Amino acid sequence: MRADRLVATLLLMQARGRVTAAELAGELEISIATARRDLEALSTAGIPVYSQSGRNGGWSLLGGARTDLSGLTAPEAQALFLLVGPAAAIAPDAKAALRKLVRALPDTFRAEAEAAAEAVVIDPARWGEHEKERPPLVRELQSAVVRRLKVRISYDGRRRGESERLVDPLGLIDKDDIWYLIAGTEKGQRTFRVDRITEATMTDIPAERPDDFDLSEAWAHVVDEMEQQRSLLAATVLIGERYLWVLQDRMGRHCEVIGPVEDGRIMVRVTAPTPLMIAQQLAGWGGSIEVLDPPSVQSELARLGQELTTRYAT
């Protein structure tokens, strides 16, 4: 739509100060003739846009004029401030950014956006614990991601030992207080636990980043692979309906409901990498559950039960 192009043109001019019709055409993927017509339309409509001919010429906003036309709708502005607002309590940079964003919004959006920023407070510390700070390496790696520079890391691969690698940092993930770095390597995309990176040095070499890379999609793929590895073995279990929600809460996606059986219990499928790991998850339930198969899990449960009986029978 032409209206969208005109908005994009204004924002581009505001960001760059001066643009040529050719630059605008390349940025918006339109013809040079269309770019000129759009620029002339803005000028005709009373927007302070003017052209300057010559070698360093182009189109500019008169006197450095700025527009508050952000393109955000009221719900979008509220959603943005709901997301960023809680971070402002613990990050001074976020608070300063919010103040600037408020000034950039149209007057009609400001009051609700400011209210949204103060509607939620996030306290990351559990009861009885101090707030955990980000590992120092996270800040350095984050800087490398933003600046798109390669990083030389020393990584403790546990069984494989420590190795040194030159990687292209693509993004960081915080999952339950464990940080992960997704990076490109000479062998393809890899995921590194930050707490196993013993040393990281940012270089001045530009990093390579795929044009179609999406951090959320990349992490979703990593999670799927990890969950598949954690679901190598399945056991069929019967449990009382009143306790089902507890088992689901503890095992998450590794507990799948099959359906009710004749005696009123619920049949579920639970998964884990090994029979022992499934048995350890279920042993505490005692007679409240019944494992129908496989025999390997039944055997592990019997062994654990015998160990407990031998130790505590007296």
Question: What pLDDT, in 10s, does the model give residues 133-158?
Answer: 777 888 889 889 988 999 999 998 77
Task: Give the whole-angstrom CA distance, residue 81 versus residue 58.
Answer: 36
CATH topology of domain 136-213: SH3 type barrels. (2.30.30)
Which residue type sits at 137? Answer: L
pLDDT for the residue 175: 84
- Single pTM value for the model: 0.56
* DSSP string over 230-280: TTSEEEEEEE-GGGHHHHHHHHGGGEEEEEE-TTS-EEEEEEESSHHHHHH
Class of 2-64 in CATH: mainly alpha
Q: What is the pLDDT of residues 262-284, one digit of tens each?
A: 899 999 999 998 999 999 999 99
Helix (H, G, I), strand (E, B) or coil at 67: coil
Class of 233-312 in CATH: alpha beta
Q: In the chain, what are the domain boundaries?
A: 2-64, 74-117, 136-213, 233-312
Region 190-203: what's the mean pLDDT?
A: 92
Cα 71 to Cα 8, 33, 105, 241: the distances in Å are: 9, 25, 9, 51
Which residue type sits at 203? Answer: T
pLDDT at 110 over 80: no
Residues 6 or more apart whose CB falls under 8 angstroms from that of 58 comprise 18, 19, 20, 23, 51, 52
The model's confidence at residue 193, banded by pLDDT at 50, 70 and 90, is very high
Task: Give the whole-angstrom CA distance, residue 64 versus residue 49.
Answer: 10
pLDDT for the residue 69: 47
Q: What percent of the chain has pLDDT over 90?
A: 32
DSSP label at residue 135: P
Q: Select from 98, 173, 81 the least CA-distant residue to 134.
A: 173
DSSP label at residue 54: S
* DSSP string over 7-32: HHHHHHHHHHSEE-HHHHHHHHT--H
Contact by Cβ (8 Å): 255, 291: no
DSSP label at residue 129: S
Q: What is the pLDDT of residues 199-228, one digit of tens each?
A: 999 999 999 988 888 888 888 898 888 888
Q: What is the pLDDT of residues 2-17, one digit of tens each?
A: 556 776 777 777 767 7
- Phi and psi based region of residue 47 (left: phi greater than 0; alpha: psi -120 to 50; beta: remaining): beta
